[in-house]
Copies of this chain bind each other. A is one copy, B any other.
Amino acid sequence: MGRWQPESRSRLEQAALALYGERGFEETTVAEIAARAGLTERTFFRYFSDKREVLFGGAGMLQQVLVDAAAVAPATAGPIEVVGCVLDAIGVLFEERRDFGRQRQAIIAASADLRERELIKLATLAAAMADALRRRGVADPVAGLTGEVAVAIFKIAFERWVADDNTQELSLLMREGLAELRAVTSGD
């Protein structure tokens, strides 16, 4: 998404996030989102199946980027090098999306339902990463473990990235997380 998404979709997204932040996710209606964006409900439903999809509609693309990056990583790359390639690709996807990420994180933190949905999204990503590694010939339990680890690094780096005072790029924070993890697991 970002600059290359249709302008009306972008306006709807901004209107939705502003309203979820002001009134709460549960209290906001699609009619209000459309009105705030100066568009019709019909236009809203052209881009989003419901108001939750404004927050989770990017999950499919995130998963696709992950799976593709794992597939095109060098044939000689071991599991952890594939994780590095995947995290770099995810970093590119989120470029210029920090404001969206910040608003979204605050909205999700305020709702138990949305927090659950976010956990499901992350579990689905970990499973997709494990499958991508299996397709590269990585056996279990390494494939499963590495899938979980990749998502853990993404999750922790994302939380740092959207923190108020952070100015570092997500890519850098993910690479740092990977390096920290390697340092921790090589220690006692």
Interface, chain A (partner B; CB < 8 A): 77-81, 116, 119-120, 123, 140-142, 144-146, 148-149, 152-153, 155-157, 159-160, 176-177, 180-182, 184-188
Take A141-B157, A156-B141, A177-B141 as given contacts and tell me if A77 and B148 are in contact as well, using a CB distance cutoff of 8 Å.
no
Contact of A149 among B140, B141, B149, B188 (CB under 8 A): B149
Instruction: Say whether B141 contacts A145, CB under 8 Å.
Output: no
Take A119-B119, A156-B145 as given contacts and tell me if A81 and B188 are in contact as well, using a CB distance cutoff of 8 Å.
yes
- List 15 A-B residue pairs with CB atoms under 8 Å apart, sorted by A's residue number: A77-B188, A81-B187, A81-B188, A116-B120, A119-B123, A141-B156, A141-B180, A145-B177, A145-B181, A148-B148, A148-B156, A149-B181, A149-B185, A182-B185, A185-B186
Instruction: Say whether B141 contacts A187, CB under 8 Å.
Output: no
Instruction: Say whether A187 contacts B78, CB under 8 Å.
Output: yes
Take A119-B120, A123-B119 as given contacts and tell me if A184 and B80 are in contact as well, using a CB distance cutoff of 8 Å.
yes
